[in-house]
Amino acid sequence: MKLGRLNHIGVATPSIEESLRYYRDVMGATIAHEPFDLAEQGVKVCFVDTPDAQGEVGKGTQIELIEPLGPESPLTGFLQKNPQGGQHHVCYEVEDIEQARSWFEGKGKRILGPTRIGAHGTPIFFLHPKDMMGQLTEIMETPKAAGH
């Protein structure tokens, strides 16, 4: 397996609205869209863009703000331990999700649930933080149309 680009850093928050004010007013970020619900993942999501190496906004690594949609959300335990929120996961791209899944399985890493469709519309899966140097790790297939 060949590691691809860092697509996003997932940041858990008790309030996306409050986090968006911080990214806009303190960090000077561009917010490209309204928050949206991903009910099947138990989260509300909003992306904050950072520019790429050429300064172009929309092609760089993103901050993925995630807020729990209810008590069954996978974020519930994390926010109980970290009430203000904070860095929750890292997400790397790969060219072929099934090949990546087999690669990590072969290394004895615990995969958390099935491969499913993530916020970018491509297949994703998660790896247990205890097997990944303490970081909850999301693997996502590179969006084909975006060319990266």
Ligand X SMILES: CC[C@@H](C(=O)O)C(=O)SCCNC(=O)CCNC(=O)[C@H](O)C(C)(C)COP(=O)(O)OP(=O)(O)OC[C@H]1O[C@@H](n2cnc3c(N)ncnc32)[C@H](O)[C@@H]1OP(=O)(O)O
Q: Which residues in this chain contact Co ion in the complex, by CB under 5 A?
A: 10, 64, 91, 138
44 binds, among Co ion, ligand X, none (CB under 5 to 8 A by kind): none
Does 72 participate in catalysis according to the annotation?
no
The Cα 32–Cα 143 span in angstroms is 18
Q: How far is the CB of 18 from ligand X (least distance, A)?
A: 18
Give yes or no for residue 44 binding ligand X (CB under 6 A).
no
Which backbone phi and psi does 146 adopt, to 5 degrees?
A: -75, -20
Using CB under 6 A, pick the residue from 29, 31, 38, 111 that binds ligand X.
Answer: 38
Secondary structure (3-state) at 18: helix
Cα distances (angstroms) measured from residue 17 to each of 10, 20, 54, 66, 78: 16, 5, 29, 11, 19
The Cα 85–Cα 13 span in angstroms is 4
Cα distances (angstroms) measured from residue 76 to each of 13, 14, 83, 95, 136: 10, 10, 10, 31, 15
Contact pattern from residue 46 through residue 85 relative to ligand X, giving x for each residue in contact according to CB under 6 A and a dash for the rest = ------------------x-x-------xx-xx-------
Give yes or no for residue 89 binding ligand X (CB under 6 A).
yes
List residues near ligand X by CB under 6 A.
10, 38, 41, 43, 45, 64, 66, 74-75, 77-78, 88-89, 91, 112, 118-119, 124, 126, 129-130, 134, 136, 138
User: What residues are annotated to the active site?
Assistant: 138
